Homo-oligomer: A and B are copies of this chain.
């Protein structure tokens, strides 16, 4: 081998080495992108979650007003707690369905739900809100509530639901 040919091969080998060594490093920005893609906390929008919860409340009210207690109960998680005045916490979808049917049968024909504020992340959101109850179109009660919403299969479900009346019982 001539000396010039040796240097030529050496230069070529170093070029290949430098390209392949740098290729290993080139992968890292891709890894970073993947990391970001698998960190949904960065892309979570509380404003969007609020809109979704307002929509879920509209559905809740529509189903309640139509007398569909099974439909309302299906908006709760299977292990939800419905925490109403005058009873220990009512646990589980089946018992919640009975409680909702009971409220409806007591003469409450319509409920209005108004979201005030929400806090949370992509898995759980706490909502503070106000409610109004009607009997044959006449307002009979007004109250406040807190709901802990849980995301299940991409849908917000009521997981804890507590409320009370603003009206004095005296």
A residues at B contact (CB < 8 Å)? 3-4, 6-8, 10-11, 14-15, 17-18, 21-22, 25-26, 28-29, 31-32, 35, 41, 81, 83-89, 119-121, 124, 126, 128, 144-146, 148, 160, 162-170
Contact = CB atoms under 8 A, between A and B. Distances in A.
B81 A128 contact: yes
B162 A145 contact: yes
A22 B17 CA distance: 11
Contacts of A167: 86
8 contacts: A4-B4, A6-B7, A10-B11, A15-B18, A83-B164, A85-B164, A87-B168, A120-B124
A41 to B, nearest CB: 7
Chain copies in the assembled complex: 2
Contacts of A22: 18, 21-22, 25
Contacts of A7: 4, 6-8, 10-11
Nearest to A119: B124
A166 B88 contact: yes
Given A25-B26, A83-B144, A83-B146, 15 more contacts: A4-B7, A7-B11, A14-B14, A14-B15, A22-B22, A35-B35, A81-B128, A84-B164, A86-B167, A86-B168, A126-B126, A128-B160, A146-B146, A146-B162, A162-B162
